[in-house]
Amino acid sequence: MFLFWKKCFDGDGEDINYDKITLDHINKYILSHSKSASLGHTKLLITALRSFFTYLYSRGIIANNIALSIPKIAFWRLSSLPKSLKPDQVEKMLKSCDLKTHIGQRDHAILLLLARLGLRACEIVSMRLEDIDWESGLILIRGKGSREDYLPIPHDVGEAIAQYLKNVRPKCAVRNVFVRIIAPYQGFSSSVAIRDIVDNALTRANIQSIRRGAHLLRHSLAVRMLQNGASLREIGEILRHNSQTTTEIYAKVDLKALHSLAQKWPVVGGAI
């Protein structure tokens, strides 16, 4: 709330007179915040503001319950387009890794798993040494809801992982495939580490993107598959979606298919 007050009044947060806050202040703050925030995060902000002003009203701190006037934000399922990179941008990201360094080789293997198999960040973090079956060329993916799937290992992915395990990965007791290069040698504590690896690669490749996490490469794989003729069912199988409705959002980026459905704008009376 201090940031809200400072944004509206440039105050120091002490002795706040909440009755001075108007709906115009709130709307301007929400609009300013939403420029750099996701739709979901903006919804959470609005919910928080409503709850806060409702609390102030219930305690008699403000005379009118301004929370009733804070507008809702429209949110429709599948309303946005998935953010993705072009194939040449993905390759530029991969090439940005310095393979002469241990960190570069490790991150290159991680980025290949994200780009070629569309893995989630949490699936990279939880990947264990025994999950890779080198003889059959399969890798076990531990996904959402305790779901487990075997996926074939593309040649370049397998080569990158093998080189990392042979030449880079420190000898340690942990069974995670990917570990810290600098002691203490342990697995990544959260998916944030994977997001940082993607973010750093985008920066090195000088690629501008609003989305800068592992899902950017996941979406990019799905869009590329669709453009190459894959069906939504096939994309859903690779991405291991539990429901086909999750995959439906990619239908919106299939411009060729959408073009065939386009109708001419009706003209009344022959006039434009």
> Catalytic annotation on 195?
no
Highest mean pLDDT among 28-32, 61-65, 172-176, 232-236: 172-176
> Catalytic annotation on 72?
no
Domains by residue range for the chain, with CATH: 2-69 (no CATH), 87-256 (1.10.443.10)
> Catalytic annotation on 241?
yes
> Catalytic annotation on 144?
yes
> Which candidate in 106, 108, 120, 212 is catalytic?
120
> Catalytic annotation on 25?
no
Residue closest to 5 by CA, chosen among 31, 25, 23: 25
> Which candidate in 95, 144, 155, 175 is catalytic?
144
pTM above 0.85, yes or no: no
Integer Rg of the chain from CA: 24
What is the average per-residue pLDDT within 100-111? Answer: 98
102 or 81: which carries more pLDDT confidence? 102
Is the pLDDT reported for residue 256 higher than 70? no
> Catalytic annotation on 211?
no
> Which candidate in 212, 215, 219, 240 is catalytic?
215
**pLDDT tier at 152 (50, 70, 90 boundaries)?**
very high
C-alpha–C-alpha distance, residues 245 and 58, integer Å: 42
Residue 30: partners with Cβ closer than 8 Å, 6 or more residues away: 42, 45, 46, 49
